[in-house]
Amino acid sequence: MLLNKSVQLPEKMDCLRLAEQGMTVQGQISLNQIQSISDMILNPKEEIQISLSFGRDAQGFCFVNGKLNASLVVTCQRCLQPLRLSIESECILSPITKPFEAEALPMPYEPIMLEGGRWLNTYALVSEEILLNLPYVPKHEEACCQAAEGEDEQTVSTGEGDQKSVNPFHDLADKLNKATTEKS
């Protein structure tokens, strides 16, 4: 059975009940509802599209097959300009209530801890999937980045209203070249 695609998903879902009924839930969550990533995101009003299929496998393990699609705008760490990233993620989880239960899970299931023995925190799940799929240092492709052309140059003010371009390593290179020529 499928629940509506345009619905705003709740923060918590009764995972065990949905698995027993073999439900698929599709909907969205606003990025601004995910507190753990709100500092990184420049477009908090965007929606994350989510599909969660619940069920039990032949061995009786409860599972959640999750799919997530998001378009995020973050800050490029090279030029400090907005950078749009598309994230598509799929996960196959099996809910657990105690940490030691994770050891008994067969492949390909990854454990996810239920709250109160039956509640799946969808916001926490989405947050983890986004964090796992974000690049460690988000940056534009070198050819597209505004900072890529003059990466080792900085614009500094001389205090007299004019600006000059300075390469912080230029003096060091000169000193190294002088030292090399003097030794020869």
**What global pTM score does this model have?**
0.72
Strongest mean pLDDT among 67-71, 144-148, 176-180: 67-71
As a whole number of angstroms, the distance between CA 74 and CA 82 comes to 6
pLDDT tens-digit map of 30-71: 888 888 887 888 888 888 999 999 999 999 899 999 999 999
Closest CA to 91 of 123, 57, 50: 50
Q: Are 44 and 157 spatial neighbours (Cβ–Cβ below 8 Å)?
A: no
Higher per-residue confidence, 170 vs 163: 170
**3 strand-pairing partners:** 25
Q: What is the mean pLDDT of the chain?
A: 82
What was the pLDDT predicted at 119? 94
Tallying the residues shown for the chain, one arrives at 184
Question: Does residue 152 or residue 44 have the better pLDDT?
Answer: 44
Q: Which residues of 121-133 are buried (b: 16+ CB within 10 A; e: fewer)?
A: bbbbbbbbbbeee
Confidence label for 177 from pLDDT (cuts 50, 70 and 90): confident
Q: What local confidence, expressed as pLDDT, does residue 180 receive?
A: 72
For residues 128 and 68, give the distance between their C-alpha atoms in angstroms, rounded to a whole number. 11
Torsion angle defined by CA atoms of residues 150, 153, 156 and 162, in that order, rounded to the nearest 10 degrees = -60
